[in-house]
Amino acid sequence: MRSVRTITRGRVQGVGFRWFIQDAASAHGVAGWVRNRRDETVEAELHGSDADVQAVLDAMTQGPPGAQVDEVAVTDVPAPTSRGFEIRPTV
């Protein structure tokens, strides 16, 4: 089991990036959340098997059409107690 927090930099707001990540997470059975940040980055937490989390991270480096991903910073975090995947409000 792997749990990570990510900060994605580049042109990642206004291009459907959060929904893209939600779809990728759902396709791989990964729980967590994603949200825009006021500094124009996108923050996410991903929780699942090593392979499934890595698959979502790989998708994040590409992003949806219209996105330009410059960096995906990844930090390991403790496993959560909740399940599912949600899009959270901007912080």
Which pLDDT score, from 0 to 100, does residue 26 have?
A: 97
Q: Please give the structure tokens belonging to residue 88.
A: 């959270």
The architecture of the domain spanning 2-80 is: 2-Layer Sandwich (3.30)
Return the exposure string of 2-23: e unless at least 16 CB atoms fall within 10 Å of the residue's CB, then b.
bbbebbbebebbebbbbebbbe
Give the model confidence (pLDDT) of 57-86 as tens digits. Answer: 999 999 999 999 999 999 999 988 777 899
3-class secondary-structure state, position 55: helix
Can you say how many angstroms the Cα of residue 89 is from the centroid of all Cα atoms in its chain?
14
Name the pTM for this structure. 0.92
Judged against a pLDDT cut of 80, whether residue 32 lies above it is answered with yes
Catalytic residues: 18, 36
